[in-house]
Amino acid sequence: MVTKIRLAIVGVSALALALAAVAVQQATAPAPANAQDSAAQYPLLGVRAGVYNDGQAALWDLNITDHFRYFGPPARLRGYSPEQPIHFSHVIHVQQNKMECQYCHWSVSKASYAAIPEEETCMGCHGALVQGKSERGKKDIQYLKDMYAKNQPIPWQKVHVMPDYLKFNHKRHVKAGVTCQECHGQIPEMEQVERVSSMKMGWCISCHRQRGASIDCLVCHGHR
Amino acid sequence: MEHTNDSKKEAPVTYAEVNDTILKMLEPPGRGWFLLLFTCLFFLAIGASSWFYQIWSGFGESGKSHPIGWGTYITNFVFWVGIAHSGTLISAVLYLFRAAFRQPIYRLAEAMTVFAVMTAGLFPIIHLGRPWYALWLMPYPNQRALWPNFRSPLLWDVFAVSTYFTISATFFFVGLIPDIAAARDRATTKFRKALYGVTSLGWRNSHAQWKHYTAAYLIFAAFATPLVVSVHSVVSWDFAMSIVPGWHATIFPPYFVAGAIFSGVAMVVTLIIPLRKAFSLERLITPFHFDAMSKLILMTSGVVTYSYITEFYIAWFSNNDFERFQFWFRPFGEFWMAFWGMTFCNCIFPQLLWIKKLRTNIPFLFVLSIFINIGMWLERFNIIFQSLTREFIPAAWGGYNFSWIEVGITVGAFGWFGMWMTLFIKFFPSVAIVEIKEILPPPVRNEGHGHHQIAGNAGHH
Amino acid sequence: MVESTSRAVVGVFTFMDDALNAVKDVKAANFDWRMYSPVPRHEIEEVTYPQKSPVRLVSFTCALTGCICGWALAILCSLDWPLRTSAKNIASIPAFFVPGYEWTILFGGLGTLGAIFAFCKIPSVVRTAGYDPRFSHDKFGVVVACSGTQVEDVKRRLKAAGADEVDVQESL
Amino acid sequence: MEGEIVQLNASRKAAETAGLVRISRRRFLQGAGATAALGATACANPAEQKILPNVKGIPEMIPGVSVWYSSTCTECSAGCGIRVRTREGRAVKIEGNPNSPVNKGSLCALGQSALQSLYDPDRIRQPLKKVRATPTGPVFEPVTWDEVYGKLNDAISKSTNKKVILTGELQGGYQDLCSSLTGQLGFQQVVWDPTQPVAVAKASELVYGTYGVPTFSLDKAQVVVNFGADFLETWGSPCGYARQWADSRRSAKPLRFVHIEPRLSLTGANADLWLKPNLGSEVRVALFLIGQMIERGRTKGLSDDAKSKLTQITKGVTATEVEAQTGIPKEKLLLVAQYLSDAKASLVLAGGAATATADPMPLLVLANILNVMLGNVGKTVDIAAMDKPASSPSKVADLINDMQNGKVDVLITAGTNPQFSFPDAFGFEYALNRVGLKGEGTGKQAGLVVALASQLDETAQLADYVLPINTSLEDWGYVIQPSGDISLMQPSMREIFDTKSLGDVLLTIASNAGKQLDASPTFDAYVKSRFLALASAKGGDASDTFWRSSLEKGGLFASTGAVASGTPAISPAVFSMSYGVSVKPAHDGDLMLYPYPSVKAFDGRAANRPWMQELADPITQAVWGAWAEIHPDTAKANGIAQGDEVIVRTDNGEVHVPAYITEHVHKGIVAIPVGQGHSAYGRYATSTGQGGTVCSLFPKALAKDADSLVASGSPVTVLRGSGSGGLVTVQDFSSQEGRELARTTLITGAGAAHEHGEGGHGGEHHEPKQMYEQREHPVYQWGMAVDLAACTGCSACVVACQAENNIPVVGKKIVSQGREMAWLRIERYFDSIPTEDGGEELKVSFMPMMCQHCQNAPCEPVCPVYATYHNEEGMNAMVYNRCVGTRYCSNNCSYKVRRFNWFQYEWPELLSWQVNPDVTQRTVGIMEKCTFCVQRIAEAKDIAKDLGRLVEDGDITPACVQTCPTQALTFGDLKDPKSRVSKLAKHERAYKVLDHHLNTQPSVSYLNDIRYKA
């Protein structure tokens, strides 16, 4: 009995001392000159070992409020793929017809927003030339033409819905060489666009840390 | 020890008598008890609905404003934490000091501690602008990779109050185990048998159990004693660590601890007088105990008064305009009533305890204890509210919009606390059976030998 | 400790010194015994458990662990995402005193609780042989485990020590 | 609580997920798609959002990038150039146009609030026809434009009597069109604009020889003596004059400023010496000064004849006598005379409420004569560049007379609100209801009243038909400045509703009647052709490129800013005027009315703009509604306490307002700001709780010799009303308590000898020993400097901040609880400063107070969740979504600049369109504060990064800095020793508030105010 207790005491003490050693080492290590440098120091204890790469909460993540909030509205979740007013197929446009992303989403490199193209852009091809092969395609193109004639915008469903307090700048990411696929997934293979990344904070941060981008809060939470 | 002998005339003399007297309190409740319970529940309902309304409508339903960010809720928080202090003080500190008067009152004081911390702990959450994010104050791993700020006194509060609650609840429960076992062994109804059977954890009073138990109990007392001092010091740092004139003071930790003991003992008196009456505990809780508590009140009142005077002295001596203005403002400014109310209740009124007769005058003590409770509430209100109304920039001076929601939540807190107290006194022994038995001479055949042993052994070891 | 075929002899005492005498007696006779008392008393401990309780060691270890964990938590969390507040250091040693201090007590306290549970073997759902409700009231009890052949001997010893009554129970 | 933006009791979680309650900023709106988009917000899933792309590409429009349109502000007659920032087709902010020589990029509070006129939730959305009148107001129903045009055409063609168009002061294009209308259709134009200084213009005619308000150059004067002209707030060209004033005050030789007015106005608060004469006795001061100037030989500008006549008039005007008449000590009078005679260049101004009396001309004339004799004409007074107000109360009075007598068949009102701003005593409403009456007694109404208005104001409510016209931000136009510059107006967004340009309406009315006002078919074409025609005379060409570049610049700005010389021609009538005290109370102790326009409501046009209602009046610090400034003696005599409701009554009417008791009004007057107490005009204007308009107190009279109303000087009685008047002020304590927050440098003589005032510490740079290693800033360290010598307290920055940062307006009740949300406030302190002769003078300090971004910020370490922390650019960062709302930071903020969201505040529809998409809208329960406009910093850094360089000095201007009329605020990088802000931080007047007490190390430096020792 007593030996067991002694063993336990020795074990716990050893663990505590190890922790203490890490703490002392960390405390005495020079503080990073700026936040960017801290990426190298990370992770210390693998505290995020249980967080999946895409930042979706691990089971042991006790963030109850997040669970409530993010497992509530599906529009905030990975896998959200709303039905669009037009069955726009990126497979046909991008994969088969080899269109560049920025042909339609031209503002990604110019502005914080990655705009949905104007109907005028669609009409460039679909106005006179391409009228669709399938029944559904024909119907959709007719719908586009009708809306264009009525001077009305097409009510696209937003796939990547972000909260208001997050100000994401597409331009800076595109100019920094982040490809569209890194966040949006293999869009060219999608018949209907789906949110493939959780796009939660941990997901953003892990990439920022990896690339040595700023992790100053205001970079994302101050402004666009 | 002489006192013990004096009071022996009235006090129960055998183990069986002690057991019977105390367990009698657990007999099926009467109408009065139900009335009390429902009153508490009613108050609690008022508080709960007030809080829900506040969340639903917006935090503006409380009376805070710019620049008074803290008000009644933090006052209540500090008040209840203060109340919570005397329990552990009486059970742990007085235990270590072998104070003779602690045994009959400590269980109640401990219960009061645990329930008061449970009450106090609600207020930091109630006072949050977004209480649904209260969890963010906890250092738990999360996908955001964010931790709380360990430099913030509010985070220290999280540590201090949660530790205090855990340890005092544990201490309280450990103390209860043998008593529950005693109750279990006398229980008659099925429900009580089951309740005590489970909560006594199968305690059997065996010699090995007693050995480890008494050793652990002493260690608990040793842990709880620095904890008592630390918790209210940490609470006082919520204020002392800031730069607000009237808050930024090094005297705050001892001042707050003394105030906490002061208010806590007063609250014990407030609770124990009706209890003593209702359950006819006059034989257990005697004038001797009241006399001792009165002396404690008198002493802490002195410390608190001294602290008040020191605050004023330092404000003058520091030659700091802002401090001086603040301490001129408190007694002579717009809210002078709160200051003078506090001074009367905490400094002047308790001085009557110098009169020996009043120290054992139960009605007087009851009234005095109520006044002290009010006075200590006002003290916290003065510190928090008055300091915030007059800070550095005169253009940003302001006032308070006292609201009914705050009153409701404050009342609700008393309901919450009262509910637990009421339930407790009917379901668990609110006077420590084993410890009372301990101070009795054990039944021995060989009197001389036994008595000699008792004289040196009021406590363990 | 006691064979399954064994009996438990329970002596109920009114007087503490009688019970202690009985303990001394059965102890000397190398019986497996246990004493119940309504209160813990110094005199009982001297006879029944003169060694020191190991609870203190557990408490100390846990407290030390808590102290280190508290400091480590504060320091490591602060360094994990270093955010400046005011001009204070990222690892602000004076400020981290509080988590260190509180966790010392918290871990120490919980460790002590654990120690009580472990050493006192609670929570326990097993019926304890020889336990009598009176032992939490005002009586002292001495339970002696013995084989069937020894029952009479034990009964005699307990009675001799001054037991009010002596029961024999089937097994422990 | 109608009329207030109150908390929305919706689920806050839903609110936070943005999209349910809010109009999403991320939706790409097209003007045409706007209404459709609004309909689409009601999704079942709170997190679902829609994206509405443009139908057609707009070349200049990139989603997420601001497009700026230059235009001209039409809020007052100054004609400041503006730039309107639009995002995705919505106007979101108005700023001053740096190209405009009038305001040089700055803009006052009123000008910025024009955005809330565009997004007025109570705007008229389609043409309306009055169907019946009810006791609670008339009932209108929508009709078509054609129906109203038809009715109007009918009425015009059938009209046998007068046809009148009653307009406000119309700017360039509209006025020219209106003139054509009157010429071709036989309309008579009557102009009514209560803000026009018509008496000043008249006095110019008498002394300078031309009708009009001259242009003044304060920066060229050494001494300015001002009789009540509030040139720093509402009078003349406030932005321009404030800039001139501040430029001089900051220079090596600051101008000395003496203000003479019975009430402490904002302008008076900025004076070195404020003298408080009896109302109506100012003329005696002016006369005394003329006598003194003659005595001291300062008569160079006068002819001998004029000089001798003036000598005659001033004979016997002694200091003692004037002291008795005016109540101003004779030492002070002599001091002012001394200042004037010593100055090489000076300026004497008169105007404002002090000259709105029954006999304003003598004072105005004498002020002009002082300018003439001191040789200021051609130096500080430009009589070649005149602003010629067309407003004419006498013509309005005639019109009322004509209408009453049934002589008017058709009345069109446009851009004016006489029912509110013309004295009730004249009976405008009664008269208007008799338009078209064919003789007495028939009761048959054949006439037609059409109101062209954007808001359903009091006048529009009287009309038979209301035609909604565009606000200035949706409209074309041009404004011709007195200097000859032409400022252009262009729409910054498409019409939100079925509204039309006033110009187009006039063109259509004419074409329906078979006339052609202009060759251009539409108003935009008209503006273009007119502008090119006018520009060609000034060296412009007629090319499209020139037109486009002018539009981009905001107009054609060619003036040099030099003061043209002019020869005054003093009319002989001047010498036969009576220069006695113009108005006098009948008995000693009687009270006189003193109405004045405030920076908050102006003449009443800003009353339905929540920003302006919630803006704290710089002097009284009151919000929402008006008040009556009463001297403590008056209050005592009538048993009135601060905030009590008082009834101010004249023979003509009464108003119910809260009392504001202050020593800073003359004992004999009751000062009330005009512009509040609307009975119509919108939810905010009508909910201030004031009973009655100030104009209802005016007598039915016109001023002697001048075509102006009698506003000031009417005898009034003040009674205590019942209960509380609902006075809400945001600052209840006016003394600094000797805490040296706003500091002053006292100077003597001509600015040579500097002497530190009460501040004392100005220029002292103490470097206290730091306990902690100070933070290093790798690239930038943002900081700000506030020059108190330049700050006039005009509060333009407050509104700019409110507009830029989506700061909610919370309403009167919530402000009364001390929960206003403004991140930037103007603290106002009343202190005293010593005078040369050992006495004391009032010193009013204005101190813009925003987050100081302290390096040792007390707020940061106390936050348990890092919602506020210090970032690498030296900023005190606030992360809204991390905040749990402990409010500890606010408690610990020594400057009290943090604001808590006590409720969920939402803008009602349409006002919600003004939100800045770059700034997070805060939800309930979180703290917010000044961010140094972090979104602008980010934008500048973003642009700089694209250009491959670092941010340079001047790239970033936070909203407050950008709009400040006096450039009192400077922002920049403190790490760059060459930046303006670094230099100012090391200025000898620089200090940091409370730093020497608390070592908070703010990033904001203040520069001592400068005052001449009187």
What is the pLDDT averaged over residues D120-126?
Answer: 90
- Provide, as residue numbers in chain B, all residues whose Cβ is less than 8 Å from the Cβ of D829: 394-395
If one compares D39 and A7, the residue with the highest pLDDT of the two is: A7
Q: Quick one: pLDDT band at residue C67, thresholds 50, 70, 90?
A: very high
Residue B461 lies in a domain: no
CB contact under 8 A, A16 and C80: no
Query: What tens digit of pLDDT does each residue of B201-229 get?
Result: 988 888 889 999 999 999 999 998 899 88
Give chains near A: 3+ CB pairs under 8 A: B, C, D
B25 pLDDT exceeds 70? yes
For residue B337, the distance in angstroms to the closest alpha carbon of chain D comes to 21
- Whether the per-residue pLDDT at D612 is higher than 70: the answer is yes
**Phi/psi of residue B447, nearest 5 degrees:** -55, -55
Please check whether residue D248 is in contact with residue D346, taking contact to mean a CB–CB distance below 8 angstroms: no
- Chain B touching partners, 3 or more CB pairs below 8 A: A, C, D
In this prediction, residue D87 carries a pLDDT of 86
Residue B99 pLDDT more than 70?
A: yes
pLDDT, one tens digit per residue, over D372-423 is: 988 888 889 988 888 888 888 999 999 998 888 888 888 899 989 999 989 9
Write down the architecture of domain D198-387 according to CATH: 3-Layer(aba) Sandwich (3.40)
Three-state DSSP class for residue D616 = coil
Residues sharing a CB contact under 8 Å with residue A2, sequence separation 6 or more, in sequence order: C54
Confidence band for B133, pLDDT divided at 50, 70 and 90: confident
pLDDT digits (tens, 9 = 90+) for D456-503: 988 998 888 999 999 989 999 999 888 888 999 999 988 888 999 998
By residue count, chain B amounts to: 461
Q: Which residues contact A133 (CB under 8 A, 6 or more apart)?
A: none
Is residue D902 scored above 50 in pLDDT? Answer: yes
CATH 3.20.20.105 fits D744-766+782-1012, yes or no: no
Phi-psi label, residue D477: left if phi above 0, alpha if psi -120 to 50, beta otherwise = left
pLDDT in tens, B28-61: 888 889 999 999 999 999 999 999 999 888 888 8
What does the pLDDT average to over A42-66?
38
Q: Is the pLDDT of residue A53 over 70?
A: no
What token pair was written down for A135? 């029944």
Structure confidence at residue A58 (pLDDT)? 41
Whether D8 has a pLDDT exceeding 50, the answer reads no
| Residue ranges per structural domain of chain C | 7-51+123-170, 55-120
**Range(s) of the domain holding residue B451:** 2-140+150-455
Q: With contact defined as beta carbons under 8 Å apart, do B406 and B71 qualify?
A: yes
Residue A22 binned pLDDT confidence (cut-offs 50, 70, 90): low
Contact status, residue B143 vs residue A57, Cβ threshold 8 Å: yes
pLDDT range class, residue D70, cuts 50, 70, 90: very high
D895/B393 Cβ within 8 A: yes
B211 to C96: CB separation less than 8 angstroms, yes or no: no
Over 70: is that where the pLDDT of A224 sits? no
Instruction: Verify whether the Cβ–Cβ distance D938 to A222 is below 8 Å.
Output: yes
Residue window 15-44, chain A: list those with CB within 8 Å of chain C.
15-17, 19-20, 22-23, 26-27, 29, 31-32, 35, 38, 41-44
Residue A188 has pLDDT above 70, yes or no: yes
pTM: 0.89
Nearest to C84 among D770, D771, D775 (CB): D775
pLDDT tens digit sequence for B168-206: 999 999 999 999 998 988 888 888 889 998 998 988 888
Nearest residue of chain C to residue D1000 (CA atoms): C86
**Interface membership of C121 toward D (CB under 8 Å):** no
* Residue C127: predicted pLDDT: 72
pLDDT at D338 over 70: yes
- CATH (one of 2.40.340.10, 2.40.40.20, 3.40.50.12280, 2.40.50.140) for D592-729: 2.40.40.20
pLDDT tier, D752 (very low <50, low <70, confident <90, very high otherwise): very low
Q: Is the pLDDT of residue C100 over 90?
A: yes
Is the pLDDT at B13 greater than 80? The verdict is: no
pLDDT score recorded for residue A59: 41
- The bridge status of strand D622-623 relative to strand D477-480 is unpaired
In a domain, B145, yes or no: no
Give the residue-averaged pLDDT of D504-518: 86
Cβ-defined contact of A163 to D919 (cutoff 8 Å): no
Q: Does B132 map to a domain?
A: yes
Q: Which fold is adopted by the domain D128-195+391-486+494-556?
A: Rossmann fold (3.40.50)
Number of structural domains found in chain B:
1
Per-domain residue ranges for chain D? 12-118, 128-195+391-486+494-556, 198-387, 592-729, 744-766+782-1012
Instruction: Identify the pLDDT of residue D1.
Output: 33
User: Tens digit of pLDDT for each residue in D719-734?
Assistant: 888 878 788 999 988 8
Instruction: Judge: B223–C59 Cβ closer than 8 Å, yes or no.
Output: yes
- Quick one: average pLDDT of B412-429? 93
End-to-end CA distance of chain A: 64
* CA–CA distance, D608 with D116 (Å, rounded to integer): 8
**D12-118 falls under which CATH superfamily?**
ADC-like domains (2.20.25.90)
Instruction: Name the residue facing D57 among A118, A165, A221 (closest C-beta).
Output: A118
Total residue count of chain D as it appears in this document: 1014
What's residue B302's pLDDT? 94
Closest partner CB to D818 (pick from B152, B322, B398): B398
CA B425 to chain centre: 16
> Which DSSP symbol is given to A93?
I
Q: What is the pLDDT of residue B125?
A: 92
SS3 sequence of D788-855? CCCCCCCCHHHHHHHHHCCCCCCCHHHHHCCCCCCCCEEEEEEEEEECCCCCEEEEEEEEEECCCCCC
Residue B444's pLDDT is 83
* Whole-number pLDDT of residue C109: 94
DSSP 8-state secondary structure symbol assigned to residue D254: P
How does the average pLDDT of chain D come out, rounded?
85
**Is B460 among the domain residues?**
no
At residue D934 the predicted structure's pLDDT band, cuts being 50, 70 and 90, is very high
Q: How would you classify residue C171: left for phi > 0, otherwise alpha for psi between -120 and 50, otherwise beta? A: left
- Considering the segment(s) C7-51+123-170 as one domain, its CATH architecture is 2-Layer Sandwich (3.30)
Question: What mean pLDDT is predicted for residues D928-938?
Answer: 92
Residue D305's Cβ-count burial label (10 Å; 0-12, 13-18, 19+) is exposed
3-class SS string, D635-668: HHHHCCCCCEEEEEECCCCEEEEEEEECCCECCC
Side-chain-side CA neighbours of residue C115 (13 Å):
31
**Mean pLDDT to the nearest integer, B100-124:** 88
What is the percent of chain B where pLDDT is above 90?
48
In terms of Cα–Cα distance, which of D1002, D976, D964, D966 is closest to D112?
D964
Percent of chain C with pLDDT over 90: 23
For D741, the closest chain B residue by CA position comes to: B393
Tell me which of A128 and D893 has the higher pLDDT. Answer: D893
Q: Residue D134 carries which DSSP code? A: E
**CA D123, chain centre distance (Å):** 21
Nearest to C86 among D861, D866, D871 (CB): D861
Q: What is the mean pLDDT of residues B115-125?
A: 93
